[in-house]
């Protein structure tokens, strides 16, 4: 348990933490059980948006959501797009009430490496209070908590304190391309005072957070080609260019020896982490030991001169997400591969612009790529970094809702992940965004054995209920 938990938990000083946790867990399982069938049904759709093969299952998942919204009394509709469908649902629009738009996504990441899943990724499995499935945390569990919260309030009171619009898309994991166009075409329908999103994290179990910043992202794939086909490495070794070798040399130039990104101009627009942020983050106790335990690694590695949490939340990166080329099977094969590829993402911080970084990276790669191979750069999706004011009236209302739900002051954090659509949402709808995440550090988002605690589903339902109350009287 991280030290931040000690800091926040009001009961830890009394040595009652064990009972408190057991009680919470029991309560969660008992009270969330009625929603389990909804959750499991939602999770069974392999709604992988990055792989075109899964398009029918993505569409089926959108259809399920539409029906769910209609069953709880909202007006709902699936909107086809050029990509995957967008589901919009709304409560009856009452005048003189503020309108909250709740954004989420029903698409999920691919599942490989499949052999590392303890249970099938699309057969949700409840174990020790955790639901294991691809998408359990990112984002099905979190968006479902809001849907179930609205359902509960409607059942309990027959009304909602604010007008609510749900906007649930199916392309978040592949760049949200359709959503931008959709927002443009539905400004009036989606007009709102505020946007709430639960697609970020808590600091730890029982320690809620308001996330006021996110990193941006820039994705690309680099492919090097040499000869037209694979060659015998005995006959042509020493003569033919080896794209795998040359790709390695190219990637070795992404960082310098201090693990700063070595692309010229990369840091030009970077806003340094502020002193109050360093102090706020330092007290959370997310130290080396915490990260090592969470990721189960013998050591950490990153830019010199920053703590792990500073590197994760406030510093940009260059990562190789996938590398491949040549023989991949068992044993060996003495070939010179004819091509090799690397899938790259760069995480960006304020005020790095994806387009400027893309240009800088392309320039860098072109400058250092040896002329003996052909380089192809396939541009991927981009998303700007995000920052908002954690001290605004609505942010204060959200912090009260978090406090009422967990009985603990929420931490003010930034996060390392990216939600590329935040800028478009804010820009198009002209509303500020509250990020109230329910993910835990060990939820294994994007990785095998992704999971979501039932406790967080229950707390998320509660959070939705009190958030609507707090926002109704925030101004």
> What tokens does 95 get?
């005048």
Q: What span, in angstroms and rounded, lies between the C-alpha atoms of 159 and 162?
A: 9
Q: What span, in angstroms and rounded, lies between the C-alpha atoms of 107 and 49?
A: 6
Q: What span, in angstroms and rounded, lies between the C-alpha atoms of 233 and 240?
A: 9
Report the greatest alpha carbon distance in the chain.
Answer: 79
Tell me how far CA of residue 425 lies from CA of 84, 98, 195, 421, 443, in angstroms: 18, 17, 8, 6, 26
- Residue 120 engages a second copy in binding (rule: CB under 8 A): no
How many residues in the chain? 475
- Residue 112 engages a second copy in binding (rule: CB under 8 A): yes
Per-residue b or e along 378-389, where b marks 16 or more CB atoms closer than 10 Å to that residue's CB? eebbbbbbbebe
- Residue 161 engages a second copy in binding (rule: CB under 8 A): no
- Residue 372 engages a second copy in binding (rule: CB under 8 A): yes
Site for a second copy in 66-105 (CB under 8 A): none
Q: Which of 244, 461, 466, 467 binds a second copy (CB under 8 A)?
A: 244
Q: What span, in angstroms and rounded, lies between the C-alpha atoms of 182 and 174?
A: 16
In the bound complex, what is the minimum distance in angstroms from residue 69's beta carbon to a second copy? 28
Closest to a second copy by CB, 90 or 315 = 315
In the bound complex, what is the minimum distance in angstroms from residue 325's beta carbon to a second copy? 5
> What tokens does 68 get?
């769910």
Task: Return the SS3 of 303.
Answer: coil
Phi, psi of 329 (to 5 degrees): -85, -165
Closest to a second copy by CB, 279 or 301 = 301
Count interface residues toward a second copy (CB under 8 A).
Answer: 101
- Residue 33 engages a second copy in binding (rule: CB under 8 A): no
Phi, psi of 143 (to 5 degrees): -70, -35
From residue 319 to residue 338, what is the string marking binding to a second copy with x (rule CB under 8 A)?
Answer: xxxxxxxxxxxxxxxxxxx-
- Which residue stretch of 149-157, 186-194, 205-213, 302-310 sits at the interface with a second copy (rule: CB under 8 A)? 302-310
In the bound complex, what is the minimum distance in angstroms from residue 92's beta carbon to a second copy? 37
Q: Which of 88, 167, 207, 217 binds a second copy (CB under 8 A)?
A: 217
In the bound complex, what is the minimum distance in angstroms from residue 452's beta carbon to a second copy? 14
- Residue 27 engages a second copy in binding (rule: CB under 8 A): no
Question: Smallest Cα–Cα separation from 365: which of 383, 379, 352, 347?
Answer: 379
- Residue 382 engages a second copy in binding (rule: CB under 8 A): no
Per-residue b or e along 271-286, where b marks 16 or more CB atoms closer than 10 Å to that residue's CB? eebeeebbeebeebbb
Q: Which of 25, 59, 60, 221 binds a second copy (CB under 8 A)?
A: 221
> What tokens does 1 get?
């348990």
Site for a second copy in 401-420 (CB under 8 A): 415-418
- Residue 381 engages a second copy in binding (rule: CB under 8 A): yes
In the bound complex, what is the minimum distance in angstroms from residue 456's beta carbon to a second copy? 16
- Residue 245 engages a second copy in binding (rule: CB under 8 A): yes
Q: What span, in angstroms and rounded, lies between the C-alpha atoms of 438 and 395?
A: 17
- Residue 304 engages a second copy in binding (rule: CB under 8 A): no
Closest to a second copy by CB, 32 or 412 = 412
Site for a second copy in 423-442 (CB under 8 A): 441
- Residue 447 engages a second copy in binding (rule: CB under 8 A): yes
- Residue 271 engages a second copy in binding (rule: CB under 8 A): no
Q: What span, in angstroms and rounded, lies between the C-alpha atoms of 196 and 437?
A: 10
Q: Which of 60, 186, 230, 351 binds a second copy (CB under 8 A)?
A: 230
């Amino acid at each position: 348990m991280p030290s931040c938990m000690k800091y926040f938990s009001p009961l830890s000083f009394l040595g009652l933490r064990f009972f408190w946790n057991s009680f919470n867990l029991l309560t969660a399982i008992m009270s969330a059980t009625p929603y389990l069938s909804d959750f499991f049904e939602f999770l069974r759709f392999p709604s992988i948006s990055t792989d075109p093969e899964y398009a029918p299952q993505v569409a089926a998942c959108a259809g399920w959501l539409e029906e769910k919204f209609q069953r709880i009394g909202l007006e709902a509709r699936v909107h086809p797009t050029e990509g995957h469908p967008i589901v919009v649902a709304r409560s009856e629009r009452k005048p003189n009430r503020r309108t909250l738009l709740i954004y989420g996504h029903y698409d999920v990441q691919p599942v490989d490496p499949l052999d590392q899943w303890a249970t099938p990724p699309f057969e949700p499995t409840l174990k020790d209070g955790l639901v294991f499935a691809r998408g359990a945390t990112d984002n099905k569990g979190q968006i479902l908590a809001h849907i179930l919260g609205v359902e509960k309030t409607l059942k309990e009171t027959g009304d909602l304190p604010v007008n609510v619009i749900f906007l649930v898309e199916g392309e978040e994991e592949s760049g949200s391309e359709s959503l931008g166009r959709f927002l443009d075409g539905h400004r009036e329908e989606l007009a709102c005072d505020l946007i709430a999103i639960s697609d970020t994290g808590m600091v730890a179990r029982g320690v809620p957070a308001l996330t006021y910043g996110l990193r941006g992202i820039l994705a690309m794939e680099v492919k090097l080609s040499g000869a037209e086909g694979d060659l015998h490495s005995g006959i042509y070794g020493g003569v033919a260019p080896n794209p795998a070798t040359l790709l390695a040399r190219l990637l070795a130039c992404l960082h310098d020896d201090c693990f700063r990104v070595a692309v010229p101009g990369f840091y030009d627009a970077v806003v340094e982490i502020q002193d109050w942020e360093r102090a706020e983050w330092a007290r959370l106790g997310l130290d080396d030991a915490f990260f090592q335990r969470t990721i189960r690694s013998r050591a950490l590695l990153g830019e010199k001169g920053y703590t792990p949490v500073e590197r994760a939340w406030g510093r940009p990166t260059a990562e190789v997400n996938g590398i491949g080329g040549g023989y991949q099977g068992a044993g060996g094969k003495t070939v010179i591969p004819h091509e090799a590829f690397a899938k790259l993402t760069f995480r960006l911080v304020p005020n790095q612009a994806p387009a400027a970084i893309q240009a800088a990276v392309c320039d860098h790669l072109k400058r250092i790529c040896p002329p003996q191979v052909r380089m192809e750069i396939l541009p991927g999706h981009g998303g700007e970094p995000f920052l908002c004011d954690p001290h605004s009236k609505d942010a204060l209302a959200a912090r009260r809702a978090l406090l009422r739900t967990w009985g603990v002051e929420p931490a003010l954090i930034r996060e390392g992940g990216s939600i590329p659509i935040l800028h478009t949402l804010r820009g198009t709808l002209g509303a500020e965004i509250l990020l109230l995440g329910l993910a835990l550090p060990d939820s294994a988002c994007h990785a095998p054995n992704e999971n979501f605690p039932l406790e967080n589903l229950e707390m998320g339902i509660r959070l939705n209920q009190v958030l609507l109350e707090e926002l109704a009287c925030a101004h």
